[in-house]
Amino acid sequence: STTPGCTASPRPLDGDVATHAAIVNGTASSDPSVVFMFAVKEGGMCTGTLIAPRVVLTAKHCVQRPGADAPDAPQFYTVGTGSRAFRPDRTYRVVDVRTTPGVWSQGGQFGLQGALVGQDIGILTLAEPIEGVTPQKIRRTFPEDQAKATLRVVGYGQTPNGQTGVKYETTTTANGIQGNNIYTGTSTCQGDSGGPLFEMDTGEIIAVTSFGNGVCGFGFAAYNLVYPFLDLIDQAVMDSGSCLNSGEETCDGIDNDCDDEIDEDCLAIGQACTSDDECVGAYCATVGARKLCSTPCDPTQPFAGCDAGSYCAHAGGCEGACVPRGTGTADAPIDAQCNDDTDCASLYCGDPGDGVRRCLTPCRADGGGCFADEACGAAEGSCGGCADADLVPTPHGLGEPCAAANDCRSEECLVPGDGAGGYCTKSCDGDGDCAGSFHCRGGQCVRGVRGGVGSVCVSPNDCQSTAVCAVTDDTSWCTVECVDDNGCPDNFACLQAGSLKVCQPMTGILGDACAGDDGCATDVCVSSDAGKVCSRACDPNTPCDTGFECVRYNESAMAGYCLPEGARLSSDDGDDRGGSGCAVSPSRPTSAPIPWIVAGVIGLALRRRR
């Protein structure tokens, strides 16, 4: 057996770095006790487990940011049920958040340091119970007999093929216990953090997903044991069911008068109000000319974080509030004139700066979330909508078109080496200084997140953790060492390259010339003004690789295709893959290996994602 502080598996190397821990090689899960948690303040998502009718167990790093000495306020979190996080069956308000004590930060052996590794426990209390779901039991003894056992993992995170927000589960084998963590082989990627690790025989929770290393689908996963923190967990469970008998009922999510009802005299979500103390959840939001009881949400994600029949509307600045959709048709395309959010398929109607209200893609100033040739019509620190950059007065924000430094709020305009259109950037010391779809390279924020296997790279700094940037005469991509083809994604093979074996694309990757869909690893070949190239679908929530822009299918579409910076679809008929265009022969045969060299190994730790 394995005892605390020891492990039967090799200790992770100093070069390994932490990343958010999604389910690898899993199947769809129907476990109703596993829920998701949406951080409306920062747009992150984690997994949790119902352990009492109103109590959800998750991870500390899901609710407490690096450098903070306490979790964010409960109103900034929403818990949801169902198999898909972005189409929830029901959402629930959070009224209390507590964690293990102490400050944590990024750095150290696992990319983490301070009070987190082995202390990654967070607990949410809901305003009302989740009905019809049996809470899961927690193991109340040290799980030494599980150090080599087969265990079950459930979560909503990203799978290696890029899907995210769908509840999956898989089994994994424990390699050993070290300190307060139990380690397994590959089982998680980005987004499952806080999800449960179940004992197979009893179904009890023994740990929560904490961190992992390497590219999604590779490396190890670490789960924080719950046994050392029973006092913290028990207190939260008792507090959620205790009657405080504090007098007259007030709108605070607590049964103040001990009548087994919570906030029974308060106005319900969606009802008209004049002040916070009238509302369930104590939030009376001003939305346009209306004041109504609501819950906070992220206005750049109008479809997420609210109950069915509601959406997230702008409530001033960059605040959002859940409001009923009403009777609007919600079918007008992008750039159509509108009177109300609910006229639009995008659920946002706004004036980008020219005095005309249009259906727009919602955005955050300096968030880098607009399509090619567009800018966010919002003042610094506020939210608005993406519109043709010519309609939005300069200076522009991160990722938006520029010709000179004075076109940008940051006074930094980055023009790619090939002379393609410039975009506004800003100085950075690390990825945390850049928006979510950008990363820090050479002291400047550049487009794209650090990529996994198959993502395009310009330098090793564009790839995740243990990956390298492989280069040919006309192609470069992030890759990893492998043993056989099973260690590589679809359309990649494990081939010898000097003294190493690495995952190599057997069809075109993003930006490669192509003749048809079957010539691309992404199964998408589009016609552009630079010829036919491999592409993939994109939108503000699915950004392109570094060196690429998301170009709308057409001017009224809500999504687009990834094209090399400066390239555009060759026809206005974008829904038809850019029209007939100009056919270009593939840059390489689909069955022949590509000679390449390794440009270098990444030396920067991944930023831990919320």
**What are the Cα distances from residue 366, in Å, to 231, 348, 378, 395, 589?**
43, 18, 9, 11, 41
Decide: 80 and 93 in contact? Cβ < 8 Å. no
Query: For the chain, what is the mean pLDDT?
Result: 82
pLDDT for 224 equals: 96
Domain shared by 464 and 533, yes or no = no
Residue 110 shares a structural domain with residue 43:
yes
DSSP 233: H
Kindly report the number of other CB atoms within 10 A of residue 1's CB atom.
10
Give the model's confidence band at 18: pLDDT under 50 very low, under 70 low, under 90 confident, else very high.
very low
The pLDDT > 70 percentage for the chain reads 82
Please name which of 54, 76, 82 lies closest in space to residue 63, comparing C-alpha atoms: 76
Instruction: Say if residue 431 is in the same domain as residue 500.
Output: yes
| pLDDT value at 14 more than 50 | no
Residues 339-363, mean pLDDT to the nearest whole number: 93
Residue partners of 68: CB distance under 8 A and separation at least 6: 103
User: 453 forms bridges with which residues in the sheet?
Assistant: none
pLDDT value of residue 361 = 96
Q: List strands edge to edge, sheet with 548-552.
A: 537-538, 560-564, 548-552
Lowest-pLDDT choice from 41-55, 92-106, 134-148: 41-55
Q: Are strands 27-28 and 221-225 parallel, antiparallel or unpaired?
A: unpaired
Q: Are 462 and 451 in contact (CB under 8 A)?
A: yes
Q: Which residue has the higher pLDDT, 216 or 68?
A: 68
Q: Check residue 110 and give its pLDDT.
A: 62
Q: Give the domain extent around 460.
A: 427-506+594-601
Are the CB atoms for 524 and 561 separated by under 8 Å?
yes
Here the CATH number for the domain that contains residue 110 is 2.40.10.10
Q: What tens digit of pLDDT does each residue of 2-12 get?
A: 222 222 222 22
Is residue 559 domain-resident? yes
- Write out the two tokens for 257: 């008068």
- Write the DSSP assignment of 245-287 as a string of letters: --SS--SSSS-TTSSS-SSTTSBPTTSB-SSGGGBTTS-EEEE
Q: Do residues 447 and 521 share a domain? A: no
How far apart CA 522 and CA 92 sit, in angstroms, is 37
Q: Based on the structure, what is the number of domains in the chain?
A: 3
Task: Assess whether 497 and 540 both reside in one domain.
Answer: no
> What integer is the mean pLDDT of 15-41?
68
Q: Supply the pLDDT for residue 164.
A: 64
Residue 534 in any domain: the answer is yes
Place of tokens 């003749």: 515
243 has a pLDDT exceeding 60? no
Q: Are 522 and 438 found together in one domain?
A: no
Helix (H, G, I), strand (E, B) or coil at 146: helix
Q: How many CB atoms lie within 10 A of CB 207?
A: 30
What is the model's pLDDT at position 374? 95
Grouping H, G, I as helix, E, B as strand and the rest as coil, residue 551 is strand
What distance lies between CA 120 and its chain's CA centroid?
19
Q: In three state form, how does the secondary structure of 237-254 look?
A: HHHHHCCCCCCCCCCCCC
Q: Which of 52-61, 264-273, 462-471 is the least confident region?
A: 462-471
In a domain, 312, yes or no: no
Reported as a pLDDT band with limits 50, 70 and 90, residue 418 is low
Q: Which of these ranges, 1-10, 41-50, 361-370, has the smallest mean pLDDT?
A: 1-10
Is residue 38 a part of any domain in this protein? yes
Is the domain of 495 the same as that of 540? no
Give pLDDT tens digits for 577-608.
Answer: 543 332 222 333 333 333 333 333 332 222 22
Which pairs from 273-281 meet CB under 8 Å and 24+ separation? 276/251, 277/250, 277/251, 278/251, 279/251, 280/93, 280/127, 280/251, 280/253, 281/75, 281/93, 281/95, 281/127, 281/251, 281/253
- Shared domain for 450 and 502, answered yes or no, is yes
Q: What's the 3-state SS for 312-338?
A: EEECCCCCEEEEECCCCCCCECCCCEC
pLDDT at 86: 82
51 shares a domain with 118: yes
Residue pLDDT, tens place only, 260-284 = 788 888 998 889 999 999 998 888 9
The share of the chain scoring above pLDDT 90, in percent, equals: 51
Number of H helices, E strands in the chain: 1, 41
Q: What's residue 6's pLDDT? A: 25
Q: Across 158-162, 198-202, 212-216, which has the greatest mean pLDDT? A: 198-202
Q: 236: part of which helix (H) or strand (E)?
A: helix 230-241
Is residue 491 domain-shared with residue 440, that is, in the same domain? yes
Question: Mean pLDDT throughout 440-460?
Answer: 91
Top-confidence residue, 496 or 408: 408
CB 553 within 8 A of CB 560: yes
Kindly report the pTM of this predicted structure. 0.61
Q: Which residue has the higher pLDDT, 528 or 498?
A: 528
Does any domain span residue 565?
yes
Taking CA atoms, 509 is separated from 22, 189, 457, 512, 557, in Å, by 24, 22, 11, 6, 24
Q: Does residue 537 sit in the same domain as residue 502?
A: no
Specify whether 502 is located in the same domain as 525.
no
Domain-terminating residue out of 103, 126, 149: 126
- The answer to whether position 347 is within a domain reads no
Residue 81 lies in a domain: yes
Q: What are phi and psi of 60, to 5 degrees?
A: -60, -45
Residue 525: helix, strand or coil by DSSP? strand
At which of 126, 161, 195 does a domain end?
A: 126
Instruction: Say what the pLDDT of residue 608 is.
Output: 25
Q: Domain end: 68, 101, 126, which one?
A: 126
Is the pLDDT score of 401 beyond 90?
A: yes
**Is 431 a domain residue?**
yes
Calculate mean pLDDT across residues 421-426: 91
Give per-residue pLDDT as tens, 294-308: 999 999 999 888 888
In this predicted model, what pLDDT tens digit does every residue of 476-524 receive, in sequence order?
Answer: 899 998 999 998 888 899 998 878 889 999 999 999 999 999 999 889 9
Q: Specify whether the CB–CB gap between 422 and 402 falls below 8 A.
A: yes
